[in-house]
Structure formats: structure tokens, C-alpha cells
Amino acid sequence: MTRSCRNGNCGRCDCQLLSGQVKLSNGNIVQATANVALCISYALSNVQFQSIPLIQQPSYWRCQLKGTQHLRLPAGRQTPPHAGDICALLHEDTVEINEAVRVEGRNIILQKPIQFAKQAAGLSMITIDRQYQGRYSLWRETPLQTLLLWDNINYLSAVAAQAAYRKSPDTGSYIVYFNRNTC
């Protein structure tokens, strides 16, 4: 499902409950018909929704580095991330987590300085869920090496990063693995 905040505030997962009953994470019980945030709803009976907002192709942006905390999107009609979105900056050999604190047109101001800025002439960025930890890892395989890029992430973050890496000019195959031994 489309989602962002996972606490019922952003509205990305809101949909109409047509029949049934759900319990919200705050303990409130909601009966049909009502608008509910799916990310904080637990079914108490059989439920029916009008339409569930499903995940589409993962959004990613190829960015130019304009400063240690400043990225610029290329010209075009792409919709930028929103202020407050958690972002994964996809470098060739690592992934860095940051937050977009201000978005002004094509300019994105990040919360923290980019650690690997020297190698980031251009980099890809995806928005991820605040609860991105999980039991998956993303690896980059080339004929010369296998490199762990991102570990202990949820499946949706892993496949979004995998899709963005596949569209980047970086070489190699990008593979998502389930980590059986992680908690």
C-alpha cells in the first residue's frame, strides 16, 4: 500500500471502509462507513474497502549535489519529495539515510550533511518509510566483487532501492535477500 508516516497523519493510505469494523492503534473502534488510515487499522471482522491505495512503481530521483546538504533535481515535470520525507541516498557503494527538511522547486535541503559527498557527483534518492528496518538486505554484484549496500531493511525499501539502482548508470546486478538470522 502507498504509505509514508505509518501513524495515520499523512493521508497516503486513507480509504473508505464500506463494511466491517476496525480497531485503530490508539484503541478507538471504527464502524463502516468511515474513512480510515490503513497503516494504523486492524480488522476486527471481515472488512470491505472502496479502493485500497496500492504501491505503484517506486519513486526515485537522480539528483545533482549542490552542497553538503543541498540536492537539485533535474529539470522536468517530476514531483519532488515532500519536506519531512525520510530519504535513502543511493551511492555506488553504500546507502545513506537522511531527511528532506525543505523542498523549494527542484532544490532539496537535507537535515544532515551527506557523508559521502566527495563521491556523489550525481546520486539517486528514494523516499522510504520511517520504519524501514526489517529482515532484508540489498547487494551489488559485479564480476569482481559482491558488496553489501544496505542491511536490515524492510522489503519495500529494498525493492525501491533495487529499482532505482537498476535505472542508474552504476554497473552490476542488484539483488535483494531475506536475512534468516536477523531479529
DSSP secondary structure string for all residues of 9-70 = -S-TTEEEEEESEEEETTS-EEESSEEEEGGGEEESS--EES------SPPEEEEEEEETTE
pLDDT, position 58: 55
**52 and 76 fall within a common domain:** no
Q: Tally the domains of the chain.
A: 2
pLDDT, position 100: 95
**120 and 42 fall within a common domain:** no
Instruction: Give me the domain span that covers residue 127.
Output: 60-178
Do the domain assignments include residue 131?
yes
**36 and 67 fall within a common domain:** no
pTM above 0.75, yes or no: no
**29 and 109 fall within a common domain:** no
The Cα 140–Cα 161 span in angstroms is 11
Do the domain assignments include residue 142?
yes
**113 and 97 fall within a common domain:** yes
Do the domain assignments include residue 94?
yes
The Cα 11–Cα 14 span in angstroms is 5
Do the domain assignments include residue 41?
yes
**49 and 64 fall within a common domain:** no
Q: Which residue has the higher pLDDT, 1 or 65?
A: 65
**99 and 123 fall within a common domain:** yes
In one-letter notation, the amino acid at residue 70 is H
Do the domain assignments include residue 183?
no
**42 and 124 fall within a common domain:** no
Q: Quick one: which of 178, 180, 138, 155 has its CA closest to 1?
A: 155
The Cα 52–Cα 38 span in angstroms is 9
Q: How confident is the model at residue 11 (pLDDT cuts 50, 70, 90)?
A: low
**137 and 162 fall within a common domain:** yes
**94 and 73 fall within a common domain:** yes
The Cα 121–Cα 64 span in angstroms is 6
**158 and 78 fall within a common domain:** yes
pLDDT, tens digit, 9 for 90 and up, residues 153-163: 998 889 889 88
- Phi then psi for 178, rounded to 5 degrees? -85, 130
**101 and 19 fall within a common domain:** no
Do the domain assignments include residue 66?
yes
pLDDT, tens digit, 9 for 90 and up, residues 35-66: 888 888 999 999 998 877 775 555 788 888 88
